[in-house]
Chain A
């Protein structure tokens, strides 16, 4: 196979809100171009992770190369980069967008534009993409294409007079989409004879082939036998194979400008492949690297601890393996008096956190306890030092802190006007500041500035239940601001339980402290002695519950024949206590922590 002429290549992404039909459309395109036989087609081909198929969301960007004989008689190569729809994965989105020249914006013709769509569209606009609006589910009785077209123009601000109206599910007008790709998107540019500049879009570990890198060739050409060089690290590798995804892997002789494909080059560790790096040839390097991506910064942190302490090493290995395929997530070892050895992990957002946790349990068979998510605070010490705080338990004495800054977000919420009232109340309760409120039909879009701290604490669940599941929500980080924040410690029998401490605004401290104390009172089994459960700020107790002593625990009968058995039971009970967490004279079963942490 020789390089495809640039004029016959189109590289595109699909942008859509969850459930608006992005993956179904991708499947139809693959089908229409005959990339897979009917037998190989299973729903949502590109969402290959088990978890993705189950939850109907895309986590990792995927790619496929399609061959399309267009109406003009020429055969085009269409490279589809699938993108995650959720804001947590904006980083993955930006990588995909950088590899393409245009995007399909898929909008549900009855639901209209959703909050999550916006961020991705703006990213695409920023990446200079040509955007083709596609109205999906046009066959539904509730479809209102006219209204949605107007909404696209009003809310997003792009022309929408010539949308492609389709039904991905029933296959209506898939041809129209393919035609629009060829006629409306620009062809890539580049010079096959220039020194190689390949953008490293993604890399992952394949247990048969080792590290695979997904690249977009901007300039030059790469082929088997070349010696490539990573421009950031300077490391060089021998190319074993180059190829494309059909979506199955297929080797090709070379990859030229405008093409998207993979390089397999005996790279040992994914860590050696920095996503966003430029790959060039060792013997004829490019002068300059391509602009990379904004590195991803974790905004939400939580502790992950194995329920079974013996699984600590397994957890470390598993986190390492996950990081191979997900560079956006961070982890460092952490020790907790309550939960033992574990890791403090940083995530791009709450969904990202949930996904990683679920992958750990599913793919690595690990039972984990996650502590309450916390955001990254900026601590200004009285001695002038500024420090980032990832873990509320690490917060120093208030006397050492001059001020604390917390991260804010700009949140867009779209909701039916019936539910607008409660949503506004929720945002106000969470210290939100309203920036904007606009209507499209009977749907309101509100924009609020909110402290992220208030959002990681059950905001999303509340929003969903207030709006009967209709509200859609998205956010972008919006800087740091000083705030009156306090660390609330939870004390059991006067000993602090590090895993349960949290940071909150002073105005919310007492309510939340009280709620955790009363939950713990229900969760901790009664003990030999009565126990005080307290919430405190520094040495000041702000909430207190007393758990009474157990009322009766004695066996009715114990005679000469029972002694041996009773003594063995005693040994077993003592053994059992070793597995519990000691707080002074109190043993708390891990299950109580688990439940306490889950209830947030």
Chain B
């Protein structure tokens, strides 16, 4: 039984660009709400028709990401949710997540989003320290973040929020204090990211100039271990490198990515992995919002590139996603999805060395990275994966 489809809807607009962020986000003086609402609905209808050719698909989750999807009009969110439910058959407890920023303007819309059908809120809190929020280019302060969190908890059945740590000059003690405060506020899920310098961002420029210095690896590793330990004390288990949840509160949508299941992305710059007519297609939409909308208006979809993936590439992708999970990769599912056996995708010498070093666990049914393995996953993958 294949995993249900995950639907990702990208809203590409932000009020301002954050200096660390490399997501496909754009700042416009006025956002053409109507045009983008219509284009998203058109593209969704187009792709749904295509996917349903071989039978109506089962939908497991919807995720509104961005950009800043809390800038969408709640009517658009409602329309897209309705459309999706009309196009696909849905699992009983369809997970519908919306990303939001904790400014007061957006918090005012929480009730309307809930009424539209959103049942999980993901708040971009990033920090509970005002000076840090400023240096991260955020438009809210810690007071607003806490208010938005409390409001969100009272409105949505499920709530997650993001924090960024391992920031310049951050000490273990600083982070521990901030993290404990966050854990007191947490609901069922947290995403705790170490600051990463992404190409093309303002932080990259600062970093190259030596004006932004990240913690050394040893400290970063200690911060990571401390974060896990603290989260666990609050009942939030690390189920992926940077994601923590109460049992059964994992983000089902994101799990689809890590399980390397089918996902349909609509909106500017959105990516898809779709099984269709026994091929696995990798597709991506035009990144520029207006160009994407024009394409949709002309052709019904904004796809820029669509390619069937070879089994070798499928194997690589499934490995680099799956080993991020605490529970690792099931060999049977891997074989079904990629057309290759797990072992045929691995350097077996490195596999054995990693098992011996206690980086990997492998019993023939399941391959998973231990905590020590996940800490070094990039280095491990670059040697392990053929």
Contact = CB atoms under 8 A, between A and B. Distances in A.
Instruction: Determine if chain A interacts with chain B.
Output: yes
B374 A554 contact: yes
Interface in A170-213: none
B273 A556 contact: no
B380 interface: yes
Interface stretch (A27-35, A72-80, A567-575): A567-575
B242 A557 contact: yes
B376 A528 contact: yes
Contact of B383 (A528, A557, A560, A566): A528
A553 B257 CA distance: 21
B381 interface: yes
A567 B313 contact: yes
Interface string A550-585: 111111111111011011001001100100000001
A560 B379 contact: no
A557 B124 CA distance: 14
B196 A529 contact: no
A574 B347 CA distance: 12
A557 to B, nearest CB: 6
A94 interface: no
Nearest to B264: A560
A551 B223 CA distance: 11
A552 B375 contact: yes
Interface residues of A, number: 26
A574 B382 contact: yes
A549 interface: yes
Contact of A554 (B241, B317, B321): B241
Contact of A552 (B220, B265, B324, B354): B220
A577 B375 contact: no
B88 interface: no
A561 B270 contact: yes
A556 to B, nearest CB: 4
Nearest to B256: A560
B379 A553 contact: yes
**Interface SS of A by simple majority:** loop
B282 interface: yes
Contacts of B218: 551-552
A563 B194 contact: no
B380 A528 contact: yes
A527 interface: yes
Contacts of B317: 563, 567
B37 to A, nearest CB: 21
A529 B354 CA distance: 8
Given A529-B353, A564-B284, A570-B316, A552 B321 contact: no
Given A551-B218, A560-B265, A561-B271, A528 B379 contact: yes
A509 B73 CA distance: 76
A182 B19 CA distance: 81
B113 interface: no
A555 B254 contact: no
Contacts of B359: 528
Given A551-B221, A554-B376, A585 B257 contact: no
Interface string B277-305: 00000101000000000000000000000
Given A549-B376, A553-B378, A570-B382, A560 B221 contact: no
Contacts of B385: 570
A563 B383 contact: no
Interface in A531-555: 549-555
Nearest to A560: B257
Contacts of B220: 551-552
A64 to B, nearest CB: 54
B350 interface: yes
Contact of B376 (A550, A559, A567): A550
Contact of B217 (A550, A555, A564): A550
Contacts of B195: 556
- Name the interface size band of chain B: 35 or more
A560 B193 contact: no
Contacts of B221: 551-552
Contact of A558 (B269, B324, B349): B324
A194 B223 CA distance: 92
A550 B194 contact: no
Given A570-B316, A577-B382, A553 B217 contact: yes
Interface in A224-283: none
B257 A554 contact: no
Counting chain B CB atoms within 10 Å of each CB, the highest count among A549, A552, A585 belongs to A552
A556 B196 contact: yes
B8 interface: yes
Given A558-B321, A564-B284, A529 B357 contact: yes
Contacts of A577: 382-383
Nearest to A526: B217
Contacts of A567: 313, 316-317, 320
B377 interface: yes
Contacts of A564: 271, 282, 284
Given A549-B376, A574-B382, A585-B353, A557 B320 contact: no
Nearest to B350: A585
Contacts of A551: 217-218, 220-221, 375-376
A72 B256 CA distance: 105
A563 B320 contact: yes
A573 B379 CA distance: 9
A394 to B, nearest CB: 30
Nearest to A577: B382
B326 to A, nearest CB: 13
B193 A556 contact: yes
A566 B323 CA distance: 13
Nearest to B24: A561
A106 to B, nearest CB: 51
A557 B243 CA distance: 9
B224 interface: yes
A573 B376 contact: no
A532 B282 CA distance: 43
Contacts of B316: 567, 570
Contacts of A529: 353, 357
Contact of B382 (A559, A573, A585): A573
A11 B224 CA distance: 80
B263 interface: yes
Given A551-B218, A561-B265, A570 B375 contact: no
Interface in B232-283: 241-242, 254, 256-257, 263, 265, 269-273, 282
Contacts of A527: 379
B242 to A, nearest CB: 5
A559 B282 contact: no
A557 B22 CA distance: 11
B308 to A, nearest CB: 14
Nearest to B269: A561
B190 to A, nearest CB: 13
A528 B349 CA distance: 14
A298 B336 CA distance: 66
Interface string B168-185: 000000000000000000
Contacts of B380: 528
A567 B207 CA distance: 24
Given A573-B378, A585-B383, 16 more contacts: A526-B217, A528-B354, A550-B376, A551-B217, A552-B218, A553-B376, A554-B241, A557-B242, A560-B6, A560-B265, A560-B271, A561-B23, A561-B265, A563-B321, A567-B316, A570-B385
28 contacts: A528-B359, A529-B357, A550-B376, A551-B217, A551-B220, A553-B217, A554-B374, A555-B378, A556-B195, A556-B196, A556-B241, A557-B196, A558-B241, A558-B321, A559-B257, A560-B257, A560-B271, A561-B265, A561-B270, A563-B273, A563-B321, A564-B282, A566-B320, A567-B313, A567-B317, A573-B378, A573-B382, A585-B353
Interface of B: 6, 8, 23-24, 193-196, 217-218, 220-221, 224, 241-242, 254, 256-257, 263, 265, 269-273, 282, 284, 313, 316-317, 320-321, 324, 349-350, 353-354, 357, 359, 374-383, 385
In order of increasing CB-CB distance, the 6 nearest A-B pairs are: A552-B221, A573-B382, A551-B221, A556-B193, A554-B377, A528-B379
